[in-house]
Structure 1
Amino acid sequence: MGKGGGQVHMGNKAFSSHSPSPPRNNSGGRGLGGGGMDRWTGVIHVPLSGGGPTFRVAASLIFSPAKTLAVPRANAILFTGDRVRGSGEPAIERLSDAAYLAGLLARKLAGEANAWVVDAACFSRSLAVYRELVPSVDAVGDPRRYDPTGFPASAGVANILAHCVHEIQSTITGTTMKDSAGIQDPNASMLSSCPPRTIILGFSKGGVVVNQLVTELACLESEPTPALSTHNLLVPVSASDVLSSISEFHYVDVGLNCAGAYISDHAVIKGIINYVLHTSKNLRFILHGTPRQWSDPNRPWIGMEKDKMLNLLQDGAQKCEGRLVLSEKRYFDGKPGSLLMHFEILQVMDIS
């Protein structure tokens, strides 16, 4: 843990319905998720490191019968984009709220899964700047390149999740944990005999984090990595754990005002193919899009990058014996692009 603990706040009412038993305190909520499963819901503000800016993270997490955080089958992590203020459209305002999105994502996930929604720690006016996870971004958050050196995104994700679990566990139990890495609860329900899978989603500008993680995963096999240590733990606790646990990448109507919305680097895609070939892992890439991004006449490079990435992956997938799966999902096709559809994709997207 870095200096300065996180803060936990009550979830939005639209975020989750509440169970008959009241919350343990005013910092967190216990609610019922899909299928009647008991869940903890709330918003946490955590630093990546001592003295650094804080990330606002909304979470919807499963409870064990003992009312402690349970080990999930998967952790789904959605990175959000730029802020939209004063649109005058209730749907946009609602779908801009990380707390609402955490509940929405939890309902979309099959089985015992945790949902995490991460806002950028810094903004340039309304523009998301994920500098802590993608150091190569400029002052307004646009990527100059994607550089895997030091695995900043995967290490950052592990750090954020560890901080969040530390704060949530402390809130639930009313105690302070000695070691944020030792987050296994002996009373937690062992819902899986395998480490939880990680599902990565990037919406709009949040796609830069997805691209950074893809770039880091492409280099994983060429770097010395310790054995996976997430077995029976709530979240991955190191950069290699994060990368090794990823089973799906979802690009959700991503787009930038410059190049770099999608990975079109042959070397990176080759690294991904080699990773799949030399491990027993299955990996899915799902590209979700609307005319707002894929058919924007003022930013034709978005659609071109998307097509190039798909083509590169399709060429490589033929070598992977079905373990690399690709999907392109179009929404609101044939309609004129709009800001409303850009946000409504979050409501209607199929992540199954």
Structure 2
Amino acid sequence: MDRWTGCFKVSLNPTKAGSCLKVAASLMFSPSSRTLLMPSVNAILFNGDKVQGTGNSVIERLSDSRNISELLVSKLGCSANVWVVEASTFNGPFAVYKEFIPSLTSRGDPKRYDPNGFPASSAIVAILSRCFEQVPSLTSSNLVEQTKGNVDAPTLLPTPFPKTIILGFSKGGTVVNQLVTEFAHLKASPQIFDRRQDHLYPISEDDLLFSISEFHYVDVGLNSAGAYLTDRTVIKKVAELLLVHNASVRFVLHGTPRQWFDRHRPWIRKEKDIMLQLLKDEAHRCEGKLQATERFYFANNLPSLQMHFEIIQVMDLS
């Protein structure tokens, strides 16, 4: 078993020129059969605003989506497929996830999170589909050049539907909030949580949302409200859904002093505390099917931009 690592350009609106998302991917690959393999999990991280010209080698390295994809593989293991998504639109340095969130300001800050039409989940399904459409167009020489090692993959047996892990870094946390809101408003049969299939990725909105096993908020923060979900009704609906379908989901809130102790943006920590308490309240009610944890990094360091990016390298996903 080996890996193919590279980048895709994906347009969700082919009629509109210049509106493409950059997606860095690290995918399981069999050198002998030259085919992609079934993962145990698809990990999808949504990146944040652009930071350029800092002169800081750590920030520059951890701003690169391809480097992030390789780091996530090192944390999640070789059986994971990893996707790192950047916004299609930037207003200066500000990422604008307009395909995922129905109501945004010009700088990409959310006005509200609305599940109507399930825009985030449908966009993710389309992105994964269009990435895989591009894989056959890669030449054999390209695949060999971008893979390392010569260990053939074992014969594959039928596998459970691959789980999905959703991560949002910085501004990318807004997409996580939208997905949680959509998850809370799902309706489907219990069987969709436990089935076997032969797709490498979710092929419908229901498939995606019901495959999610973890939501990770990675040092998220905004210059306005909305970095964390504080809607009690949404969190309660998530817990009720898990109880009805005998499923489980884990939330992990990862943070640094850069965001959680920003004196100029105190609402970030306040929102984090509210969301964590709401999650813990519901966790007590739903028999452990909902888990919520916070993890604080660089606790003894002064807030800095470097730690904001360095959390990607040090965060614990276990």
**Normalised TM-score (structure 2):** 0.91
Residues 126-165 of structure 1 aligned to structure 2 (within 5 Å): 126-165=93-132
**Structure 1 pair 110/46, CA: closer, same or farther in 2 (3 Å)?**
same
**Aligned amino acid, residue 158 of structure 1:** V
Question: Out of 9, 16, 21, which is 1:55 matched to?
Answer: 21
**Structure 1 pair 173/152, CA: closer, same or farther in 2 (3 Å)?**
farther
Contact 1:69 1:188 in 2 (8 A): no
Q: Which residue of 2 aligns with 1:19?
A: none
Question: Out of 82, 93, 115, which is 2:60 matched to?
Answer: 93
Q: Determine the C-alpha separation between the residues in 2 that align with 1:57 and 1:188.
A: 28
**Aligned amino acid, residue 95 of structure 2:** A
Residues 1-352 of structure 1 aligned to structure 2 (within 5 Å): 37-52=1-16, 53-64=19-30, 65-171=32-138, 190=156, 193-221=159-187, 231-352=197-318
Structure 1: tracts of 5 or more residues without a match: 1-36, 175-186
Q: Determine the C-alpha separation between the residues in 2 that align with 1:69 and 1:43.
A: 15
Quote the RMSD (CA, aligned, Å): 2.1
Summarize deviations over 1:167-224 as a string: whole Å, max 9, x none. 01332579xxxxxxxxxxxx99636521110000000000000000000000003x79
Q: Determine the C-alpha separation between the residues in 1 that align with 2:180 and 2:284.
A: 19
**Structure 1 pair 319/169, CA: closer, same or farther in 2 (3 Å)?**
farther
Q: Determine the C-alpha separation between the residues in 2 that align with 1:333 and 1:314.
A: 23
Query: Deviating runs (4+, > 6 A) in structure 1?
Result: 223-226
Secondary structure class of the residue paired with 1:210? helix
Q: Determine the C-alpha separation between the residues in 2 that align with 1:147 and 1:171.
A: 38
**Structure 1 pair 101/189, CA: closer, same or farther in 2 (3 Å)?**
farther
Paired-residue identity, %: 52
Secondary structure class of the residue paired with 1:202? strand
Contact 1:73 1:111 in 2 (8 A): no
Q: Determine the C-alpha separation between the residues in 2 that align with 1:172 and 1:198.
A: 28
Higher RCO, 1 or 2 (CA under 8 Å, sep at least 6)? 2
What is the aligned length?
A: 303
